[in-house]
Structure 1
Amino acid sequence: MIYGIGTDICDIRRIRASLEKHGERFAQKVLSDNELNTYRVRSERWPERGVRYVATRFSAKEAFSKAIGMGMRMPMTWRLCEVAKLPSGQPTIVLHGVLKEWFEAKGLTAHVSVSDESDYATSYVVVETHTA
């Protein structure tokens, strides 16, 4: 049964401006440790890939927070929600700490889709419940 659905569209130009203004501090606020490592590797090779990476993660986390119905308030935080990739390349939500405990206690599962094109990144998240 569907618990919640979230969607978000993010202007990549806004993310670029935040990174230019605040440097890596902005990325450190939004990204988990694993995501931060990926961001650094992508940025070294091609800075625009790093910007787009942050934008898609920002968008996916916003969509996830909407799907669980709480926005950005505890236990939902930027760094406790991670967007990783399965070996197939499919994006997946990985949770940490109190957010993971809350999510698992509710018997929830998340599905995420992310995309970016030109000036925008977009994400969709469907959260299912497996309890009656």
Structure 2
Amino acid sequence: MNILGHGIDIVEIKDIKQLIERSGNHFENRCFTATESSIAGSDSHRIQYLAGRFAAKEAVLKAMGTGWSQGISWTDIEIQRLPTGKPSVVLYSRCQEIAAELGITIWFLSISHTQSYAVASAIAVGKPPLS
């Protein structure tokens, strides 16, 4: 197994808060799956939680080296939480296809936040395809 990519992203919590306040459900429905929205809850940490997931999705795409190209949608990446609290990456549709083409089979993901910032780091591991 080899590290095939690494991505990191940082977002300002206030920017995510403003997007949600301006667009309401539109922003959330476009960027987050139903599972991600439901897990975020409704307490004071909801915005921090969503900002962390937003940063994590950006970090995953950077690790894949694609950015938001090739027909990828925000909801093609879902950031789940294991019972241990550890975040995990689940890919769907075009993201899943690209990851398979790149040989990515394992993701290591870390998310952290303060009141002002959320940061995420994603490491893609697998066996690169034969050239």
Same fold, judged at TM 0.5 (above): yes
The C-alpha deviation readout for 1:48-78, integer Å capped at 9, x for no partner, is: 3221121011100011111100111224321
**1:75, 1:102 within 8 Å by CA — same for their partners in 2?**
no
Does 1:81 find its partner at 2:77?
A: yes
Aligned-residue offset at 1:122: 0.3
**8 Å Cα contact 2:9-2:59 kept in structure 1:** yes
Distance in structure 2 (CA, Å) of the matches to 1:38 and 1:86: 12
Deviates more, 1:12-21 or 1:100-109: 100-109
SS in 2 for 1:79: helix
- 1:76, 1:69 → 2: CA distance? 12
C-alpha deviation, 1:33, in angstroms? 2.1
The equivalent residue for 1:69 is 65
TM-score of the superposed pair, with normalisation by structure 1:
0.88
Structure 1: unaligned runs, 5 residues or longer: none
Is the CA contact 1:32–1:79 (under 8 Å) kept in the aligned structure 2? yes
Could you list the runs of 5+ residues in structure 2 that have no partner in the other structure? none
1:17 partner amino acid: Q
The answer for the alignment partner of 2:32 in structure 1 is: 31
Bigger shift: residues 30-39 or 98-107: 98-107
The equivalent position to 2:109 in structure 1, one of 109, 112, 116, is 112
Q: How many Å separate the matches in 1 of 2:124 and 2:115?
A: 28
Paired residues in the alignment total 127
Among the aligned pairs, what percent are the same residue?
A: 30
| Structure 1 contact 65–76 (Cα < 8 Å) conserved | no
TM normalised by structure 2 equals 0.89
> CA-atom RMSD, angstroms?
1.4
Task: Map 1:1-132; keep pairs closer than 5 Å.
Answer: 1-39=2-40, 42-43=41-42, 46=43, 48-108=44-104, 109-131=106-128
Aligned residue for 2:39, secondary structure, equals: helix
